[in-house]
Amino acid sequence: MNCILLPAANFSNQSTHINAKAQIEHVNQVLGAKVGDTLKIGQLEGNLGSAIIADITPEHILLIDVNLTTAPPPKLNLTVVLALPRPKVLRRLIMDMTALGVRDIILINSYRTQKSYWQSPMLSRLEEFVLEGLQQGVDTVAPRISLQKRFKPFVEDELAQLITNRAIVAHPYGELLFSKYMQQQHLQKQLENSESSHSSILPSMVFIGAEGGWIDYEIELLTKQGCQAVHIGERILRTEAAVNAILGQWLI
What Å distances lie between residue 94 and 18, 145, 196, 246, CA to CA? 24, 10, 30, 15
Domains identified in the chain, total number: 2
Q: With 0-12 CB in 10 A as exposed, 13-18 as middle and 19+ as buried, what is 88?
A: exposed
Whole-number Å distance between alpha carbons of 151 and 116: 16
The whole-angstrom separation of Cα 191 and Cα 214 is: 33
- Which range has highest mean pLDDT (180-194, 213-227, 230-244)? 213-227
Which of 70, 101, 118 corresponds to the end of one domain? 70
- What is the model's pLDDT at position 38? 97
Side chain identity, residue 138: V
60 with 116, same domain: the answer is: no
Q: What 3-state class would DSSP assign to 116?
A: helix
- Nearest Cα to Cα of residue 185 among 169, 205, 201: 201
> In terms of domains, do 129 and 199 share one?
yes
Q: Are residues 37 and 119 in the same domain?
A: no
pLDDT in tens, 21-56: 999 999 999 999 999 999 999 999 999 999 999 999
Q: Which of 54, 70, 86 is the last residue of a domain?
A: 70
User: Which structural domain, as residue segments, surrounds residue 46?
Assistant: 4-70
